[in-house]
Structure 1
Amino acid sequence: MQDNRPLNVIRLLRANALSDLDAFVVGMALFGWAKLSVSGRLSEACAMQRIVDGGLSVLQDTLLSATKEQHDGLLSDLAKLQGMDGTVVLTLVALAYELAVAGELDKLSVGDLLRSDRGAPLAIPSRLVSLMVQLGRLAPNDSVYTPWDFYAQLAIAAHAVGAVASIETPIHSSIPRLFQLLAGASSPVHYADPILAPSQIANGSLIKFDVALSFPPVGLRYEREVSYDGRWNRFAESTTSGSILAIRHLLAQAKRRVVVLVPNSLLSNTGAEAALRYDLLKRGMVEAVIAFPKGLLESTAVATALLILDPNGGHHRVRFLEVDGSRFCTPTSKTRWQLCDPGDLAELATSAQEPSDPCVATVPQADVIDNDATLQVNRYVTARKAANLLGPRPSPGRPVTLGQLVRTVRPLPATTRKDVPASAQPTTLYEIGAADLPEHGYISGAERRISIDGGTLASAAPLFLQPLDIVLIVKGSVGKVGIVPTKVPNPGPGGWIAGQSGIVLRVSDPRSVDPRALFLLLRSPMGQLQLRGIVAGSTTPLIQLRELLALPVQLPSSEEQAAAAEALETEGRIQEQIDQLRALQAKAAAHLWSLEHAYGEGDADDEAPARSGSVQVLSS
């Protein structure tokens, strides 16, 4: 796009008191008006050429005629220009007309325009659209169902490969038709809620399309009664989740394949989500799952995944692909990124051959079902990476899980963490959080203090940290781990407890495993890789307790445990020396040009805030 001129039209609309959404909608209407005018599809009375030639004298009449022109209300949003300053509207018309005459609207990238403008919150990145279409394996003349295709992106991409799309959207807007006008596509747009009142019906039955492609809005919810709708036998789970209902609906309207973008939470949540996964897996409908990290979509920070489903079932293996820090994504900012090589990614997902790519794992359907039917991609991809790293190394002892080695101590309940009046004689405790866990050595202390009353203190006795307890962060900075030193404050006032984002692992029998060895095992690259494999959550990363306790542990030999304990002690001694050197370093120049020197001892605290700085004082 030359100088991003189409986007400049939308920016000018926004600068003239239109909201982000209205500016986007009116801008698209202007582009549609220009395209129809230049192509000769409008009468002379409402064509843009009339304003370009006649100026202000014909502006209002022509604008009104264009707004009311047939085309089924396609340009009705131009009415929002009626109250705007005439000279501004003339500028907008001139810009849009110039774009159309130059052919720039014919080359307009819908994906680029949507990505660049904040008035299109439900847009799909263009490379993700390309990936979804390729995963659909569309052939010329295939029928394609694209519900919730608010900007006709999927329909336009399907049209480009010769397929025939049908759009269904609950939002009454001319946007999907305008985008198709600019792209030279003409898929029908049906305004209806696909869940509540699907419109694609023939002879009382849902129309079956060859392929369904969809991105239902994240967080979509319905009344629970909707899931009891027995028409067409779509829904099996009692739920309010729009994602679950959308998947069931898509399967009911597709003959060959469904490609649907869902929040990552659907891959691992319990309840109705788990019931859905069990059913899809048992019927062999899950062909592949592609997981994306947070930052793919402009409209949400939620991590998402693509499900590739076969309504006919019969699949006995599931292909898992993880797009996270791999060759398939590249950052565009600190929090955003975009897909790379959608063609290669589609080939990996659908290839009959077993790929050697480290971001891919193919797992027997029965194994996935046995694993609580979780479709969390990192679980299987990480397990494969760990197996490749470990190789055929034999375990020195019987295979164990983390839950066989430790018992857990949960943090102090959040409900007890409230302001305690001074009259209640509160007790101060120190809370160990992620920031208190050092990279090496033992935990040295906590920065955060909390106050509790006497009753809470009595019930919190089992929660105080003990020597060689392991603190693991299971929410947020998941996987970060630390170990309590042998000298720790006694339970009670001044004692240490774990923060809300952590959990305490207390070795049940130190004779079976040295806590220091277990800590270093969890902190090691191999341990961190295993922990990443059980991370869930679409917005905030978390590790569920049952997954943590089921984590397989390769029990170190007695020699390895002794070496680990010695290594940790060495880290601790070195850390003490580093702390001492830092203290000396801090003192080295502390006496030079201090506030006490500038103001006189005892005056600094009172005077310094009122002055501009020690340099100015010394120079005065």
Structure 2
Amino acid sequence: MKEVWEIIAGLRGTMSMDELPALLLVEVAHKIGNVPETHGGALQKWKNFSADKAYPQLQAAAQTFLGLPPRDRLAALDVVLENSHRGKLVDHLWIASPAAQQIAQIMEGVSSVRCAFGWSLHPALQIGVAAAEAGDEVDLCFVDQNPEVCDMAALAAVSLEVTMSVFLGQPFERLDGVKAEAEISLPPFGWKMDKAAALPRETLEWLGAMQSGRLTSEPVAIADILAHAPQAQAIIGVSAGPLFRMVGVEVAARDELINAGRLQAVFDVPSGMIYHETGIATALLVMSPVGEKRDIVRFTDLSDPHFASRSSRGRYEARLDVTWAEMLSNSALEVDYARDVPVPEIEEQDRILTPSRYLSRTAAKLSAFNDRYEVKELSEIVELIRPVALPKDEDGEYLVHETAPSDVGEDGFLTEPPKIIKVGRGGLRKARNQQLEPGDVVISVKGTIGRVGLVPDDVPDRNADTFWTVGQSMMILRPRRGGMLPEALYEYLSSELMHEHLNTLAGGAVIQAFNMKDLKSLPIPVPTMEEQAKIREEFAKRQDAFRELERLRQEIGAMKAKSWPHRDLPPLNSAD
């Protein structure tokens, strides 16, 4: 399949590599004698290039392409798109071949499929090629609002001898009027839709939006399927955010999805497995038709070695010797990479659909440990103080050291934060409200999740003009009187098992963040005061060991400085 690319790779310098795939497909269509109607400039660019002296090379590549069977042609097109410069058009047009095949297999046997947005094109072509090989008929429709994407879709279908109607239009507007047995909707992530009035009333009603409020593509995709494809099996691609955000239409979309009883499965997709150029975690929502009301939802981790391998570049790739479609069966599961979750359990979790929340291998271990103790929610034993942004004042007389996760030392104590903010009298009250005190425990809740530290006894007091606070990526956990010793709380929260558990609860497409409700309700085992006193004593002994370790490090450094060549080399910052 690389033969086609090897021929046209020599065209570098004669054309923009972004244009190469479309020009190849136009040439192929001309050779077949079936050039589809186009909306963009592909045909004109082909005409212009046909006068170039390098045109025979394009003809040779097209001839080689046509010498392949349709499935190999699709593989060759995948190689061309992978190797040509990946411009914005290609990035939103093509997904990884193994993932496209897996999605197509889920739709195997359906009589009609509506595919919305550029990322659904590759699965659509896989469905068409597979149906032709099996001698089956499938009614394929592809919808996108970008003329160039639609041109690529029409040209690719002709080149692969796949029958597929292509409709130019915004897929959510439903102007194509297609009613299909199955739908694949892979919208751009986070696409802000300002023109809510262009959406059908039925879609808006499912979101409770009605032409107002913030609308983004992924919750709209869910409402679109609920409103316009009640009898269809559907696959929707989403980023991590809409699965857990507790504001806006994301909440409404999840509520309606759960209430409809149509959510069959959630596939947790590692970055790069489906979308080549997207370095964020994503998910696939699989919906069943109305009438198959679901009381359980199957969550599956596609990053598990059972489903994934690693490419030479370290990117996740879907294995083809196992199928995602098999995970949609009704058979019982006893595996680590998937779990059937009852809907009431999802409701207890505020209908958050982040897969790691339900697939955590740490929750059961922590629960078994906690059963030995009295257990309280974190908010019962500490006061949670969430910092706010401080108003900076270059002429301010107060110096505030703002703590970050990296300021936690290996001994567990905060070191003096190097970041300093000047605040004036007007911002002092805010700064004092989040000033760190001896015995405070801090925890990172954004970006780096679950880094825990203790505030030392020698931290500046409330009267000092220079003092410590925490940055907005951290929270202050101030132990309540008679609740729990800070050392005991630190030991539990900083354990490896708890650190892993906290990360499974966090969500975020790019920057991980912790839901405040989850933090407040975090179960904490509370040992007896006698046990806590022993924990404090053991913690103090460990601090003695850290001090001895530091002494040894300094001694080793001094020994090194006296040996060759270090004793004779000038210091790095010396003037000579």
TM-score range, shorter chain: 0.7 to 0.9
2:216 maps to a residue whose letter is: S
SS of match in other structure, 2:297: strand
1:512 aligns with 2:483: yes
Kindly indicate whether the alpha-carbon contact (under 8 Å) linking 1:489 and 1:495 is maintained by their aligned counterparts in 2. yes
Kindly indicate whether the alpha-carbon contact (under 8 Å) linking 1:144 and 1:165 is maintained by their aligned counterparts in 2. yes
Give the Cα separation in 2 of the matches to 1:99 and 1:75.
Answer: 23
Residues 262-309 of structure 1: per-residue CA shift (max 9 Å, x gap)? 111111112211112112212212111112233332232232111111
Give the Cα separation in 2 of the matches to 1:343 and 1:105.
Answer: 20
Give the TM-score normalised by structure 2. Answer: 0.85
1:370 aligns with 2:336: no
1:539 maps to a residue whose letter is: V
2:45 maps to a residue whose letter is: K
Aligned to 1:49: none
Q: CA deviation at 1:227?
A: 7.2
SS of match in other structure, 2:443: strand
User: Structure 2 vs 1, CA of residues 215 and 151 (structure 1 numbering), >3 Å: closer, same or farther?
Assistant: closer
Matches within 5 A, 1:60-209: 71-73=36-38, 77-80=42-45, 86-101=52-67, 106-109=72-75, 110-117=77-84, 118-119=86-87, 120-122=90-92, 123-136=94-107, 138-139=108-109, 142-149=111-118, 152-159=121-128, 160-161=130-131, 162=136, 163-173=138-148, 174-200=151-177, 207-209=178-180
Q: CA deviation at 1:521?
A: 0.9
Aligned to 2:467: 495
Residues 295-325 of structure 1: per-residue CA shift (max 9 Å, x gap)? 3322322321111112415111121223345
Kindly indicate whether the alpha-carbon contact (under 8 Å) linking 1:227 and 1:245 is maintained by their aligned counterparts in 2. no
- Work out which of the two has the higher radius of gyration on C-alpha atoms and give 1 or 2: 1
Matches within 5 A, 1:39-58: 41-42=32-33
Q: CA deviation at 1:443?
A: 2.6
Kindly indicate whether the alpha-carbon contact (under 8 Å) linking 2:215 and 2:249 is maintained by their aligned counterparts in 1. no
Give the Cα separation in 2 of the matches to 1:17 and 1:192.
Answer: 29
2:350 maps to a residue whose letter is: D
Give the Cα separation in 2 of the matches to 1:254 and 1:182.
Answer: 33
Matches within 5 A, 1:151-550: 152-159=121-128, 160-161=130-131, 162=136, 163-173=138-148, 174-200=151-177, 207-223=178-194, 225-226=196-197, 229-230=200-201, 235-238=206-209, 239-251=214-226, 252-270=228-246, 271-296=248-273, 297-312=275-290, 314-324=293-303, 326-332=305-311, 336-341=315-320, 343-348=322-327, 350-382=328-360, 385-387=362-364, 390-391=367-368, 394-397=371-374, 399-411=375-387, 413-416=388-391, 418=392, 420=394, 424=395, 426-491=397-462, 492-509=464-481, 511-550=482-521
1:583 aligns with 2:554: yes
Give the Cα separation in 1 of the matches to 2:484 and 2:126.
Answer: 58
Kindly indicate whether the alpha-carbon contact (under 8 Å) linking 1:7 and 1:113 is maintained by their aligned counterparts in 2. yes
Q: CA deviation at 1:485?
A: 2.4
Kindly indicate whether the alpha-carbon contact (under 8 Å) linking 2:379 and 2:521 is maintained by their aligned counterparts in 1. yes
Q: CA deviation at 1:538?
A: 1.2
1:569 aligns with 2:569: no
Kindly indicate whether the alpha-carbon contact (under 8 Å) linking 2:263 and 2:286 is maintained by their aligned counterparts in 1. yes
Residues 509-543 of structure 1: per-residue CA shift (max 9 Å, x gap)? 3x332211111111113312331232011111110
Give the Cα separation in 1 of the matches to 2:61 and 2:196.
Answer: 50
2:4 maps to a residue whose letter is: P
Give the Cα separation in 2 of the matches to 1:211 and 1:344.
Answer: 18
Residues 399-442 of structure 1: per-residue CA shift (max 9 Å, x gap)? 3211111112223x3352x361xxx2543332221212234442
When structure 1 is superposed on structure 2, of 336-345 and 456-465 the one drifting more is 336-345
2:44 maps to a residue whose letter is: A
Kindly indicate whether the alpha-carbon contact (under 8 Å) linking 1:429 and 1:494 is maintained by their aligned counterparts in 2. yes
Residues 78-128 of structure 1: per-residue CA shift (max 9 Å, x gap)? 532555683333333334434544779944414444444414202222222
Kindly indicate whether the alpha-carbon contact (under 8 Å) linking 2:244 and 2:353 is maintained by their aligned counterparts in 1. yes
Kindly indicate whether the alpha-carbon contact (under 8 Å) linking 2:390 and 2:423 is maintained by their aligned counterparts in 1. no
Kindly indicate whether the alpha-carbon contact (under 8 Å) linking 1:429 and 1:449 is maintained by their aligned counterparts in 2. yes
SS of match in other structure, 1:414: coil
Give the Cα separation in 1 of the matches to 2:54 and 2:357.
Answer: 56
Kindly indicate whether the alpha-carbon contact (under 8 Å) linking 1:264 and 1:291 is maintained by their aligned counterparts in 2. no
SS of match in other structure, 1:583: helix
Kindly indicate whether the alpha-carbon contact (under 8 Å) linking 1:152 and 1:177 is maintained by their aligned counterparts in 2. no
Kindly indicate whether the alpha-carbon contact (under 8 Å) linking 2:382 and 2:483 is maintained by their aligned counterparts in 1. no
Aligned to 2:19: 22
List runs of 5+ in structure 1 lacking aligned partners: 43-68, 201-206, 609-620
Give the Cα separation in 1 of the matches to 2:573 and 2:495.
Answer: 46
1:134 maps to a residue whose letter is: Q
Give the TM-score normalised by structure 1. Answer: 0.80
Residues 171-198 of structure 1: per-residue CA shift (max 9 Å, x gap)? 2232112222333312111112122352
Kindly indicate whether the alpha-carbon contact (under 8 Å) linking 1:143 and 1:211 is maintained by their aligned counterparts in 2. yes
Residues 153-183 of structure 1: per-residue CA shift (max 9 Å, x gap)? 1222222144332111212232112222333
Kindly indicate whether the alpha-carbon contact (under 8 Å) linking 1:111 and 1:124 is maintained by their aligned counterparts in 2. no
Give the Cα separation in 2 of the matches to 1:474 and 1:9.
Answer: 52
User: Structure 2 vs 1, CA of residues 409 and 73 (structure 1 numbering), >3 Å: closer, same or farther?
Assistant: closer
User: Structure 2 vs 1, CA of residues 333 and 466 (structure 1 numbering), >3 Å: closer, same or farther?
Assistant: farther
Residues 207-256 of structure 1: per-residue CA shift (max 9 Å, x gap)? 43111112111122222533773268874331421222222222313514
Matches within 5 A, 1:590-605: 590=561
Give the Cα separation in 1 of the matches to 2:333 and 2:511.
Answer: 31
Q: CA deviation at 1:454?
A: 3.9
SS of match in other structure, 2:322: helix
When structure 1 is superposed on structure 2, of 73-82 and 356-365 the one drifting more is 73-82
1:121 maps to a residue whose letter is: D
1:156 maps to a residue whose letter is: L
Give the alignment's Cα RMSD to 1 decimal: 3.3
Give the Cα separation in 2 of the matches to 1:323 and 1:568.
Answer: 40
1:268 maps to a residue whose letter is: F
User: Structure 2 vs 1, CA of residues 404 and 135 (structure 1 numbering), >3 Å: closer, same or farther?
Assistant: farther
Matched residue count: 553
User: Structure 2 vs 1, CA of residues 542 and 70 (structure 1 numbering), >3 Å: closer, same or farther?
Assistant: closer
List runs of 5+ in structure 2 lacking aligned partners: none
Give the Cα separation in 1 of the matches to 2:80 and 2:506.
Answer: 35
Identity among equivalent positions (%) equals: 23
Give the Cα separation in 1 of the matches to 2:310 and 2:466.
Answer: 45
Aligned to 1:554: 525
Q: CA deviation at 1:341?
A: 4.9
Aligned to 1:57: none
Residues 30-88 of structure 1: per-residue CA shift (max 9 Å, x gap)? 4x24xx53xxx34xxxxxxxxxxxxxxxxxxxxxxxxxx85435996253255568333
